[in-house]
Amino acid sequence: MSNYMEKYKEWLENDFFDESTTKELEAIKGNEEEIKDRFYSELNFGTAGLRGKIGAGTNRMNKYIIMRATQGLAEVIKDHGKEEMQRGVAIAHDNRHFSDVFAKTAALVLAQNGIKAYLFDSLKPTPELSFAVRYLNCISGIMVTASHNPKDYNGYKVYWEEGSQILDDIAFPIQEKIKDIKNFSDITVMDERKAIDNELLIYIGKGIDNEYIGRVKSLSLRDEEVNKDIVIVYTPLNGTGNIPVRRVLRERGFENVHVVQEQENPDPNFPTIDYPNPEDVRAFEYSILLGKKVNADILIATDPDCDRLAVMVYNGSEYVSLNGNQTGAILIKYILEALDEKGQIPENGVIVKSIVTGDLGEKIAKQYNVKTVEALTGFKNICGKENEFEKSGEYSFLFGYEESIGYVYGTFVRDKDAVISSMLLAEAAGYYQTKGKSLLDVLEDIYQEVGYTSEGPFSLVLEGIEGKERIKRMMVHVRENPPKEVAGKQVVDVIDFLTQDKIDVGKTNALKYTLDDGSWFAVRPSGTEPKIKVYVYTNGATKVESDKKAEAIQADIRKILDKIE
């Protein structure tokens, strides 16, 4: 009998698993492909936690996988000593199916291990969890979320005491502890009433909300100089952003905020979209309709756990989408311009971006004598740099961002934060409107100052075991057979982030190729989704020239990857 069939039988016949799990497994009897997909591997606890499809099985997100991961985390915390156990763990969840169940399950596993759990009493955005870890002086944090993945996914992210997602120094020990757990039945949860009575489960909510919102508002850079009558359409995409984003904008005096009714309230089924990712312009379909109706100046969308933000801007005839690099550049310009006016840019100010984020923000930062430092992809690495600088004093962190529409300003949240970003973007749009400019005009100003750039990112989605193996083959091929010429340009430099020592960022499975005109592209497998991602960046004397280069490079790379079976 194959290994996956043995595991399936073990789950099916084990009394430890509840009735709904057994029924779900009974329903797939005889469906070998489905059984294989659910049991051919373990859902790996990666360097940021877990993410996968919801369902019964070892390769699915379910409460048993949550219990095992949390037990692994508990063992690591216990190894740090009793004081750290007393500091406790903050836990929040988004609006996904079973998110509340998974969050409470994690809290009760911790309680059973004598570790205090601070559990939010309702759904919250990811950045508020990061804030809570710091505010409550916790040793760790757990966020149950699948971010912008489709509706049948969920996830589990782990944070450490700084408020940022764990890095290898914590992730690897947790992985080892998880491996030591041989049977799910070895993990027990404490009764909720007992946990509350023993002060091992503490529900939190409004008090933390107020503190967080207050800190967000404190990041305001301009107030009286801003036109707060600017017309904004906002969609939380049926996620967690509805209450905090609207509250911040309201309390800052932005009265003309119109919310997309169909996407206003939390809904794990995301009824209006297949893929609740605001990076995809299709997520704006309802926003555009409402925008035209109310004559909106900007459309803002946040993803389900409200850590990422996307924007569209009216150009006089239609709404134009800004990508993550462009939005990041506008925010950097707005922030540094305002700080410079106030004389508040520190001498050792720094911006942190990922290795696959474009260079536009760096060019703006240079104008203000602010350094830009690179980190590996993901905000765990961006904020990991911030943590390093806080300890060393080498730099003062100002702003972190990545091309995948994640941004953070300030230091009280150590993750990307769409609540902060929404406020600053509304403020910037309102401020520039008093100067007779839209955000598109500001972007054009940036291009005029530092040069035109274009992006041509794309992904190939390859699901299942076969897809996973094909992605591996693609990475091996481009690593072992680097192209010498792309779109008529010579490749003049290759950085293999698995082996490189040119940049102090650490190791990851990614490759970056620089062409003889300064354009570059990078290739990497996604860490959270079944896809290989390609990033393309070009420059030119005009936007048209730059765009054409991006299209040509993108076409050539697609040809290379398509040939790899």
Q: Which residues are catalytic?
A: 147
Both tokens assigned to 262 = 């169909």
Task: Give the number of C-alpha atoms closer than 13 A to the C-alpha of residue 386, restricted to the C-beta side.
Answer: 27
Question: 412-426: b or e for each residue (b if 16 or more CB lie within 10 Å)?
Answer: bbbbbbbbbbbbbbb
Q: Which residues are CB-neighbours of 122 under 8 A, at least 6 positions away?
A: 205
Task: Give the number of C-alpha atoms closer than 13 A to the C-alpha of residue 226, restricted to the C-beta side.
Answer: 22
Q: Is 49 in contact with 158 (CB distance < 8 Å)?
A: yes
Q: Is 99 in contact with 130 (CB distance < 8 Å)?
A: no
Q: How far is CA 332 from CA 108, 303, 315, 326, 455, in A?
A: 42, 21, 21, 10, 18
Token pair 């967690």 in the structure block, residue: 240
Both tokens assigned to 372 = 């830009």
Both tokens assigned to 561 = 């990857």
Distance CA 452, CA 559 (A): 26
Amino acid at 542: T
Give the residue among 321, 120, 101, 160 at the shortest CA–CA distance from 240.
120
Amino acid at 165: Q
Angle at 349 between CA 343 and CA 355, to 5 degrees: 140
**Strands 489-496, 485-486: pairing kind:** antiparallel
Q: How far is CA 90 from CA 157, 245, 430, 473, in A?
A: 12, 22, 36, 40
Q: Is 398 in contact with 411 (CB distance < 8 Å)?
A: no
Question: 505-523: b or e for each residue (b if 16 or more CB lie within 10 Å)?
Answer: beebebbbbbbeeebbbbb
Both tokens assigned to 408 = 């953070």
Both tokens assigned to 108 = 């009760």
Both tokens assigned to 443 = 């972007």
Distance CA 204, CA 536 (A): 44
Both tokens assigned to 64 = 């048993």
Determine the straight-line distance between the first and last CA of the chain, rounded to whole angstroms.
29
Q: Tell me which DSSP letter residue 289 carries.
A: H
Q: Is 252 in contact with 230 (CB distance < 8 Å)?
A: no
